[in-house]
Amino acid sequence: MPSSSSLLALSLVLLFFVSRSFSYANSRFTHDRANLPQSQAQKHIKSLNLFPKVQVNINNDAGFVPGEIVEKKFSFFAESGSSVEDLGHHAGYYSLPHSKAARMFYFFFESRKSKDDPVVIWLTGGPGCGSELALFYENGPFHIANNLSLTWNPYGWDQASNILFVDQPTGTGFSYSSSTSDFRHDETGVSNDLYDFLQEFFKAHPEFVKNDFYITGESYAGHYIPALASRVNQGNKKKEGIHISLKGFAIGNGLTNPAIQYPAYTDFALENKIISKANYDKISKSIPGCEQAIKTCETQGGKSCEIAFGTCVGIFNRILSIVGDINYYDIRKKCVGQLCYDFQNVEKLLNLKKVKSALGVRKDLEFVSCSSTVYDAMLQDWMRNLEVGIPTLLEDGINMLVYAGDKDFICNWLGNSRWVHAMEWSGKEAFGKSPTVKFEVDGAKAGSLNSYGPLSFLKVYDAGHMVPMDQPKVALQMLKSWMGGKLTGIKRDN
């Protein structure tokens, strides 16, 4: 089994570049964007025990063919006697058609139960962190042991779905290009690439076209997920290609509506006794400036969004300057010196020559766990409101689940609950009046649930930023119940 330090590793990684933003917030008005504090970024990467040799893979690709999928079956368990065919594990590259020479890497694991199970795509946040982080530490089929061997994850989401893990945007994980012009800067570019990939994926796997399809992810994927859901829905309506049977999308501890979520930091911190009332009053004075900066970002875009980023992260930064070594991905935990997490095994495993060969990855590519280059490219996207497209999806009958671990600070349940409740749609009033019920797993209280029509909000107890890591059994049951239309709770006595 994985070590406790390894199992704790992932929660920081998916938004680890937020750490970078602390120094950025303090230097935004005195530094040119070309002079961002790279040394601080490297310091925070090292605090995760991560040592990527490169920040992004830029490689020449003379054989680039736009719109082509090259995929192979593989087995990490060949020595166990299971055949490749029995396992149904695939890895591949998709050549993005709207690029100069970008290749998107992905894993596809067929369901351990039935090929008729839904197809689920998982999007890791960052922006710029590889999907392999979730694959090996959260909801994928495997966990990594200290000797780099793999053990089955009994709560992997391949127990209930045929699941895709994608390294995106370009430059993330094993994805690469020969040109920096292929890096994406907004959700239009991100969602178009993913939509193109899904079209070609279903052409390559026509047996799954009939299956229900769900989009999932967490953290910065609170931006990616609504954007992709809207893109798929639009493509279906316009009959652009293969009809993708989109049934729902789920956001876990995500960043979706910054204008509502950033002001929630002070309230969450006070309620959880992280800061005093006096500090709360002082820091709260910064909230109006943040809210105004976000409004300017929405109307003007460009550099104003970078200014909003620096302004609003200042709120978070001031809280952390008070609380010190608290782990803001799980307020129950603290960091010890510089080392907050140990996530080195994923880099060690994926950079092994035999592993890259098995996956069809070029031997000259390095696994980029989290890319500061991709992060920088998406900087003007950070403060955008991605909730705006969700009401249309709900009105079209597409289900949405927002779930959040109650011990996470960075994308806390309070801010997520607030934007969900504030969202304007035809069911807003009814959802607001819906009873808060207990969500139980095997007879034990696992969370609290509000739901109405296609919308559900679940607060997961005793979980931080990474719900599938902290509460794997609960997360798998949540997925099964939600996809099965049975995500219900038990009414409270009071």
Active-site amino acid positions:
219, 408, 465
State how far the alpha carbon of 474 is from the alpha carbons of 412, 442, 444, 446, 484, in Å. 18, 9, 10, 7, 15
Q: Are 317 and 325 in contact (CB under 8 A)?
A: no
What sign results for the dihedral spanned by CA atoms 175, 180, 185, 187? negative
Element (H, E) at 91: strand 89-95
CA 297/CA 305 separation, integer angstroms: 4
Look up residue 74 and give its DSSP letter: -
- Reference 168, options 116, 124, 216; nearest CA is 124
Bridge-based pairing state of the strands 399-405 and 246-254: parallel
Most distant CA pair in the chain, distance: 67
- Say if residues 476 and 160 touch (Cβ distance below 8 Å): yes
Q: Which residues are CB-contacts of 229 (< 8 A; sequence separation ≥ 6)?
A: 215, 246, 249, 389, 390, 393, 398
Q: How far apart are CA 127 and CA 373, in angstroms?
A: 10
Place of tokens 């920088």: 376
Contact between residue 311 and residue 295 where contact means Cβ atoms under 8 Å apart: no
